[in-house]
Chains A and B, each alone.
Chain A
Amino acid sequence: MDRIRTAPPRYWLVAVVFLFFFGLPTVVSSFVAGEWAQALVLAIAIMGLNILVGYSGQLSLGHGAFMALGAYTSAILANRFHMDYLVTIPIAAVLTGVVGFLFGVPALRLSPLYLALATFALAVVTPSLIKRPAEFTGGVRGILVAQPDPPAFISGAFTTITGTVMTSDQWIYYVCFFIAGLLFWLAWNLARHRPGRAMRAVRDAEVAAAASGVNIAGYKTMAFGISAFYAGTAGSLYAVSLGFISADTFPVSLSIQLLVGAVVGGLASIGGPLLGAVFAYFLPIEANQWVPSQTWLPDQVTSTVKNAGPAVSYGVILILVMMFAPTGLVGVIRSGYVLLNRRLRAASDRDTGQVPPDPQTV
């Protein structure tokens, strides 16, 4: 009991988040589970971007291109070579990781701004590159990805708990949840061990890190590789959760959406990508639905917002969120927690008359 009480609050947080995501499909409808599956997919891709941008300090405006590569690898393997979709996911991830690693080599030569341009260029040309060779990629007609049915023992368990038959959307949700959990755990380990420290050292003081014997080129390209590995995994899951991919599935706006998620969530943190993904995924969907459906608002407001269209709501919300959380949602939560903690401690210190201990650094 004592041990649990003294466990750092972040473990409690992880447990709550885990339970939330684990239980979600049992209380929401199938299509909502499908939406959250896609939010988790974005979380994986954003975590990859976070490793690159947040931890290693290199900018990418084109991670949608890596998602496209992962998605098409899986879709083509499953569709043309009739492989089990789940088997194609690691293949897509590794292939994309290798490509990302190779992309990272010339990227070393580029200053941050040029890297931004190079990756942006990649995102811009992705849809037209996908269109060929059309026999292979399906061209503009796209590829249908058959959504797998859940294995019997899992759907059986699901039915026992909820009393309803498990849909493929719900099964895919759990696949995404499992993989996202695994990759977040890996990222967390990476961040607090030697590679993470080395990457941050390179990011904050490149010359100093080199002087201390950190292999700068190695860590920078490695960050690109790992980042692309995450994006490739996400792409593969994106394809199966959507059931169809085509050139238009990977527009520039996807890469922008990922960057928005990474920054809004909070860079160089583990929770940030998850929060950022939920924000970046649901913002465009809710931007034109939430306000018009609010009955307590005056009719004139709702109809104006509706007529003005989703782009206006999207822009306003994004700007406001960034103004009030310039270091991301995680930054807000952190400072809120610190503030709360100080007050609570101060209160308990007054009760017991004890001197407050040094704030613990986790």
Chain B
Amino acid sequence: MGLKGPGLAGIAAGLLTLAACGGSAGTTTQTDVGITANSILLGTTNALSGPAAAYGTIANAENAYFTYVNNNQGGVNGRKITFKILDDGYNPAQTVPLTKQLVEQDQVFAMFSGLGTQTQTSVRDYLNLKKVPQLFVATGATTWGKDYSNFQWTLSWQPPYQGEAHIYAKDVLQNHPNAKIGVLYQNDDYGQDYLKGLTDGLADKAALIVDKEAYDVTAANPFAQLTKLKAAGVDTVFLFSTPKPTIQSLAFITAGLHWEPTIYLNSVSSPQVYMGIAKKSGAALKNVTSVGYIKDPTDPQWANDDGMKLYKTVIANCSTCNVLDGFNIYGVAVAYTMVDILKLAGNNLTRANVMKIASSQLNESNPFLLPGVKVTTTSSDHFPIMQEQVITWGGTGWSLQGSIIDERGSIK
């Protein structure tokens, strides 16, 4: 075993020096691993390749905002943000080694906006054990906010799917109290969370759901399931599906089934660009309801909005980003919150302090969210965004209905 020698052991020991022994306190500032006098290193894993590659642009949009802050504001308190993006192909088996690489080799200060429920669950234990912030994972699964007491280094950002479904339940009970509800859902955490939220929200009226049909991501289209829903006598359809099956469903309901149910769409699939495609494919788009919390870059009502103008300036920093892609404004908005937190941390730029601010002291107005929606956390509530507004399709665009609905505290 001649490979060993004290010199090599020294190198190994050096490489093994981990986050825990950070905090090389300067004269006035408290800092941690990943922070220097003029830089902050953040890391992420996202799906840049593979079947979920459509989401990969989120990371690039986030990077565009950091670039904007670095170039136009000189960084955060003089520190420029470096954002290391690695591709996990939406596969948890890749997320694990890549996250360990970012934490142990690249020595990031925090993980930011990792994509996917299963992928991010796969590293939650590890990051909490290492006390590395796993901030604002890009998924609306309920577990992130709900299980905060067990995983205090992990937070999500967007409204949880279940909270959104509660709003649909309220809307249906108010406007269609005798609805015969049919649900089309993707058989993963996303679809199942929505379905659970709807069932919980309907409470003792859950029997209004007369049929629910699941489809798998490998399905070519959800037409069989929709045919079944129509045959079951459904008059109100919930589409808890990702954009492509949603567009297919909207077109098939009109053109393929000559059916005119009331339709509820989830917010992931409601951006105007998708509605446009559905319309061209023959969808009537009558009685379509969804909710929103973020400004849709394809929606003309924001054309002169300051937040939208800022978004367009920011996204110009990303050569591969499509300005009309709703995922990009999501990325810019969540990066905005991250930068705000780093600013708030000021000279106490430690992982613990950043987590403290993010999990319990947020009260942010974000220019990319709908007017009135705030990013808020308190010592007892760890779902940053819990306000959404009902929107209905008016033939050419979405219009906001009523006022902002706050679902805070509704998820048990």
Listed in ascending order, the chain A residues whose CB lies under 8 Å from chain B are: 19-20, 22-23, 26-32, 34-35, 38, 124-125, 128, 131, 139-142, 144, 161-164, 169, 238, 242-249, 251, 253-254, 284-285, 287-289, 307, 309-311, 314
Quick check: A34 and B9 within 8 Å, CB to CB? no
Quick check: A285 and B122 within 8 Å, CB to CB? no
Quick check: B93 and A254 within 8 Å, CB to CB? yes
* 19 interchain pairs, CB-CB under 8 A: A20-B3, A22-B1, A26-B9, A38-B93, A38-B97, A139-B192, A140-B187, A163-B9, A163-B12, A164-B16, A243-B96, A244-B122, A246-B118, A247-B118, A249-B91, A253-B89, A254-B91, A285-B98, A289-B86
Quick check: A288 and B48 within 8 Å, CB to CB? yes
Quick check: B122 and A242 within 8 Å, CB to CB? yes
Quick check: B125 and A29 within 8 Å, CB to CB? no
Quick check: B92 and A31 within 8 Å, CB to CB? no
Query: Of all chain B residues, which has the CB nearest A128?
Result: B216
Q: Is the interface of A mostly helix, strand, loop or mixed?
A: helix
Quick check: A245 and B101 within 8 Å, CB to CB? no
B117: CB under 8 A from chain A?
yes
Measured CB to CB, the closest approach of chain A to B353, in angstroms, equals 26
Q: How far is it, in angstroms, between the C-alpha of A35 and the C-alpha of B93 when the chains are bound?
A: 11
A residues within 8 A CB of B94? 284-285
Quick check: B319 and A244 within 8 Å, CB to CB? no
B residues within 8 A CB of A31? 97, 100-101, 103-105
B residues within 8 A CB of A284? 87, 89, 94
Quick check: A164 and B125 within 8 Å, CB to CB? no
Measured CB to CB, the closest approach of chain A to B329, in angstroms, equals 20
- Of the 9-residue stretches B22-30, B49-57, B200-208, which lies at the interface with chain A? B49-57
B218: CB under 8 A from chain A?
yes
Measured CB to CB, the closest approach of chain A to B5, in angstroms, equals 9
B residues within 8 A CB of A169? 100
A26 and B3 contact, Cβ closer than 8 Å, known pairs A141-B189, A242-B92, A245-B92: yes
Contact of A29 among B4, B12, B48, B98 (CB under 8 A): B12
Mark contacts of B365-382 with chain A using CB atoms, 8 A cut-off: 1 yes-contact digit, 0 otherwise.
000000000000000000
B residues within 8 A CB of A238? 93
A residues within 8 A CB of B188? 131, 140, 247
Q: How far is it, in angstroms, between the C-alpha of A34 and the C-alpha of B117 when the chains are bound?
A: 23
A243 and B91 contact, Cβ closer than 8 Å, known pairs A29-B16, A31-B97, A31-B101: no
Quick check: A140 and B192 within 8 Å, CB to CB? yes
A162 and B9 contact, Cβ closer than 8 Å, known pairs A243-B125, A246-B121, A307-B320: yes
List 14 additional A-B contacts (Cβ < 8 Å) besides A34-B96, A164-B13.
A23-B1, A26-B3, A131-B187, A140-B187, A142-B118, A163-B12, A169-B100, A246-B122, A248-B90, A248-B92, A248-B118, A254-B91, A309-B49, A311-B49
Contact of B56 among A139, A251, A309 (CB under 8 A): A309
State which size class the interface on B falls in.
35 or more
Q: How far is it, in angstroms, between the C-alpha of A288 and the C-alpha of B47 when the chains are bound?
A: 12
Q: How far is it, in angstroms, between the C-alpha of A343 and the C-alpha of B335 when the chains are bound?
A: 62
Across the A-B interface, give the 10 residue pairs with the lowest CB-CB distance, nearest first.
A23-B3, A29-B15, A31-B100, A244-B122, A311-B49, A140-B189, A246-B118, A31-B104, A248-B118, A310-B87
Q: How far is it, in angstroms, between the C-alpha of A310 and the C-alpha of B85 when the chains are bound?
A: 11
Interface centre among B3, B9, B49, B51 (most CB of A within 10 A): B49
A163 and B97 contact, Cβ closer than 8 Å, known pairs A245-B92, A248-B91: no
Measured CB to CB, the closest approach of chain A to B126, in angstroms, equals 7
Q: How far is it, in angstroms, between the C-alpha of A29 and the C-alpha of B143 when the chains are bound?
A: 32
Quick check: B12 and A27 within 8 Å, CB to CB? yes
B220: CB under 8 A from chain A?
no
B11: CB under 8 A from chain A?
yes
B residues within 8 A CB of A139? 192
B119: CB under 8 A from chain A?
yes
Quick check: A26 and B12 within 8 Å, CB to CB? yes
B224: CB under 8 A from chain A?
no
Measured CB to CB, the closest approach of chain A to B279, in angstroms, equals 31
Contact of A19 among B3, B121, B126 (CB under 8 A): B3
Quick check: A128 and B104 within 8 Å, CB to CB? no
Quick check: A27 and B11 within 8 Å, CB to CB? yes
Contact of A161 among B9, B89, B90, B125 (CB under 8 A): B9
Measured CB to CB, the closest approach of chain A to B106, in angstroms, equals 10
Measured CB to CB, the closest approach of chain A to B143, in angstroms, equals 8
A29 and B49 contact, Cβ closer than 8 Å, known pairs A22-B1, A128-B216, A244-B96: no
Mark contacts of B186-222 with chain A using CB atoms, 8 A cut-off: 1 yes-contact digit, 0 otherwise.
0111001000000000000000000000001010000
Query: Of all chain B residues, which has the CB nearest A314?
Result: B49
B residues within 8 A CB of A38? 93, 97
Measured CB to CB, the closest approach of chain A to B368, in angstroms, equals 24
A310 and B187 contact, Cβ closer than 8 Å, known pairs A34-B100, A248-B90, A248-B92: no
Contact of A28 among B1, B15, B121 (CB under 8 A): B15
B8: CB under 8 A from chain A?
yes
Name B112-170 residues within 8 Å CB distance of A.
116-119, 121-123, 125-126, 143
Measured CB to CB, the closest approach of chain B to A143, in angstroms, equals 10
Query: Of all chain A residues, which has the CB nearest B15?
Result: A29
Q: How far is it, in angstroms, between the C-alpha of A313 and the C-alpha of B94 when the chains are bound?
A: 17
Q: How far is it, in angstroms, between the C-alpha of A177 and the C-alpha of B383 when the chains are bound?
A: 43
Quick check: B53 and A249 within 8 Å, CB to CB? no
A residues within 8 A CB of B123? 244
Measured CB to CB, the closest approach of chain A to B147, in angstroms, equals 11
A residues within 8 A CB of B119? 248
Q: How far is it, in angstroms, between the C-alpha of A200 and the C-alpha of B169 when the chains are bound?
A: 64
Quick check: A242 and B96 within 8 Å, CB to CB? yes
A311 and B9 contact, Cβ closer than 8 Å, known pairs A131-B187, A244-B96: no
B residues within 8 A CB of A289? 86
Q: How far is it, in angstroms, between the C-alpha of A352 and the C-alpha of B179 when the chains are bound?
A: 98
Q: How far is it, in angstroms, between the C-alpha of A38 and the C-alpha of B143 when the chains are bound?
A: 28
Quick check: A246 and B104 within 8 Å, CB to CB? no
Name B283-332 residues within 8 Å CB distance of A.
319-320
Measured CB to CB, the closest approach of chain B to A278, in angstroms, equals 14
Query: Of all chain B residues, which has the CB nearest A281?
Result: B97
Q: How far is it, in angstroms, between the C-alpha of A241 and the C-alpha of B306 when the chains are bound?
A: 49
A128 and B187 contact, Cβ closer than 8 Å, known pairs A26-B8, A309-B49: yes
Measured CB to CB, the closest approach of chain B to A74, in angstroms, equals 15
Q: How far is it, in angstroms, between the C-alpha of A313 and the C-alpha of B6 when the chains are bound?
A: 38
Query: Of all chain B residues, which has the CB nearest A303?
Result: B319
Quick check: B4 and A30 within 8 Å, CB to CB? no
B residues within 8 A CB of A32? 105
Q: How far is it, in angstroms, between the C-alpha of A342 and the C-alpha of B63 when the chains are bound?
A: 56
Query: Of all chain A residues, which has the CB nearest B319?
Result: A307
Measured CB to CB, the closest approach of chain B to A287, in angstroms, equals 8
Q: How far is it, in angstroms, between the C-alpha of A141 and the C-alpha of B141 when the chains are bound?
A: 10
Q: How far is it, in angstroms, between the C-alpha of A251 and the C-alpha of B91 when the chains are bound?
A: 8
